Structure 1
Amino acid sequence: MTNHVLRIDASARHDGSVSRDLTDKVLAKLSPAEVTTRDLSTPLPLIDSTWIGANFTPSDNRSDDQKSTLALSDTLIAEVMAADTLVIGLPIYNFGVPSGFKAWIDLVARAGVTFRYTENGPEGLLTGKRAILAVASGGTEVGSDYDFATSYARHVLGFIGITDVSVVAADRLMVDPEASKKAANDQIAALAA
């Protein structure tokens, strides 16, 4: 049973957004007790040299300004940590993820917090969670050689420890929208609650 979902909407669109519609349907299927929503259409700040300096300063040595610089990142990470399941509305823009989703990843993937380096390579620290990607695309076929969005999302989620990743896809909407939406709805119906 899914108790707490973190809903992430990466679409720049609100009205007519297929990924937002799919995310609504996934949430209805899961019927969680609690939902936290993070809408990435409101731009997140990009990491810069000040953020990197704060991030790589040991936490005990951070100034108040450095703590303030990392506050949003800390909030975003806390949202992921609190969730059992992430439901990510992910449109494919120009074969990749929207810039807002990339900015979110940059703020969430932090060495020593959400992953660590070991003698055997990197190890994700956010284990025991599930993610469902609600993907929409106009022409990019999910899983094709030119779909860099879902492969990237799966990889980076696995990097921080979330390896149980399902994809619900309404792809190639500009080619056959009805068949695409039907396939996505069938995939949602088949999801385990």
Structure 2
Amino acid sequence: MFIEDAFKNIEGENRTMATAGVFATYPQPYLSVAGGIIDQIVGTAFLCICVCLITDKNNKIPAHLQPLLIGLLVAMIGMSIGMNCGYAINPARDLGPRLLTLCAGWGWQTFSFNGYKWFWIPIVCPMIGAVIGAWIYELCLGLLLSAFMFASTHPMVECKYTLKLLQSFSNECFAHFLGLVICKQERLYNTAVCISGVLR
């Protein structure tokens, strides 16, 4: 509503894809389908890795700094790879505006753009990239940081056992086990004798 006059000045009464990019994301003419898929997966994976890094309590980043760092992160991704297709890196950032333009005068061309080869990429690929990014962080850093934090908060108790003491303990355990076996054999023998006596 606030920029309708600007749209009319550019393209008249008919809405075209030239202004649809104000709302949703669309690729540059040189970008292939495979390039768009890789762009969204890699961009979202990098975003998710850094968000996990910033919000992980083991890294002890102050909570009041986390929104600022995430905002700078999104800006950095936009300035580095945003020229390809507007760096959706979030299904909600693209699908909602695309539905808006569908209903606000741009029509079905917002979905049929490039022969229906584009609209699903900024919706599906960011979810794939997010899962990949989370796994990369967890496997490469998350588990390691958790182990370090556990080790720092649970120091190992000094071991005071000697080899001689362990051997003595092992011999006692074996003797106890052997005694149980012998006792069991004696009970079986006595039971067998009693049964044979009854049968006679």
TM-score normalised by the chain length of structure 2: 0.24
TM-score normalised by the chain length of structure 1: 0.24
Q: Going by fraction, where is helix more abundant, 1 or 2?
A: 2
Bigger radius of gyration, 1 or 2? 2
